[in-house]
Amino acid sequence: MASCSAPPSLMLVHPQDLSRSQRTTFSLYPLLFKPSKCLHIEPKSRTCHALVAALAAEVQVPLTVHDTEEDDGSDGSTATSAATTTTTTTTTTKPKKGKAALPLKRDRTRSKRFLEIQQLRERKKEYDLKTAISLVKETAKTKFVETVEAHFRLNIDPKYNDQQLRATVNLPKGTGKPVKVAVLTQGEKFDEAKNAGADLVGGEDLIEQIKAGFMEFDKLIASPDMMPKVASLGKILGPRGLMPNPKAGTVTPNIPQAIAEFKQGKVEYRADKTGIVHLPFGKADFPEEDLLVNLLAAVKSVEANKPSGAKGVYWKSAHICSAMGPSIRLNIREMLDYRPPSE
């Protein structure tokens, strides 16, 4: 006798394939259905096998089919001549999402433009400052004016307080980018900030606008008497790097001077958690002499603000590049000892 634990709606076996003399048992596990009438299926017929396979593929569960051939003896006893068991398991893979779906770094391909400009420099060669700046201008071949950046890897661990680096540098030739400055102050300094060229000036009203999502400014300068009120903006301004800080020169009683410095090209920088400083120092359309002057100012500032806890070799590596171009490695010794011809 064959036992089938499936609802009558799934019984699609033709009546001609049913017999009481010879029996086959098949089951759908782990699905449990209500018991129904049992079917007697001939083992020689393949219709039942196709039915079971179709049902298992539809519900995506393991499929087990038992084929048993039985012969009736003369004394009414039965003997099993063969038994066969076949198991087929169907598994579904969950699609990857987010960063896991991105191709690995070794499988990514560069653009044709990048591969062409990459041939202009040797990958592991260390260049002097003048040659490196010339190569940066050659590799800046996009349709927009690219920013020129410096990346300094330092021998510091910012998780320790005495090895953190955060400071500002005045670029003599500017950044090439207009800076929109907002000022938080009150009283007499309100008019001073407006006369100094601030784009936005406000007090508690500007604080409420920032809490509502207003972020149309590049630098936020605050007077010391406004800091207790500005503290409530920490969660909003902190992740964006706009929170006023005395080390960055954005908390000062001399507001007109701070506005003039940021308008002329004052740049704030800090070491990230891996000890690398990322610092823009101009545009690709700057003359080579202007880029060289700005780069030297940035190097001197990083060297002058060396953390007290930094030990051993301070400079590990230094690279410059355009925003969309390959990096160019600098000779650190030549970079630190370089003196402009005018000096």
Q: What pLDDT, in 10s, does the model give residues 7-18?
A: 444 444 444 454
- CATH topology for 121-175+267-342? Ribulose 1,5 Bisphosphate Carboxylase/Oxygenase (3.30.190)
Quick: pLDDT tens for 77-122: 444 444 444 455 566 777 777 767 777 666 667 788 888 888 888 8
Quick: pLDDT tens for 204-244: 899 999 998 898 898 999 999 888 888 888 889 888 888 99
Domain boundaries, the chain: 121-175+267-342, 177-264
* Cα distance between residue 13 and residue 21, in whole Å: 17
DSSP track, 104-124: PGGG----HHHHHHHTTS-TT
pLDDT of residue 101: 76
Long-range contacts of 312-315 (CB under 8 A, 24+ apart): 312/155, 313/155, 314/154, 314/155, 314/156, 315/152, 315/153, 315/154, 315/155
pLDDT of residue 10: 45
pLDDT of residue 26: 47
Q: Of 253 and 58, which is predicted with more confidence?
A: 253
Quick: pLDDT tens for 269-311: 999 999 999 999 999 999 999 999 999 999 999 999 999 999 8
Which is the CATH superfamily of the domain at 177-264?
Ribosomal protein L1/L10, domain II (3.40.50.790)
Neighbour-count burial of 184, counting CB atoms closer than 10 A to its CB (0-12 exposed, 13-18 middle, 19+ buried): buried
pTM over the 0.75 mark: no
Neighbour-count burial of 36, counting CB atoms closer than 10 A to its CB (0-12 exposed, 13-18 middle, 19+ buried): middle
Average pLDDT over residues 141-145: 88
For the chain, what is the total number of helices (H) and then of strands (E)? 10, 12
User: Above pLDDT 70, what percent of the chain?
Assistant: 71
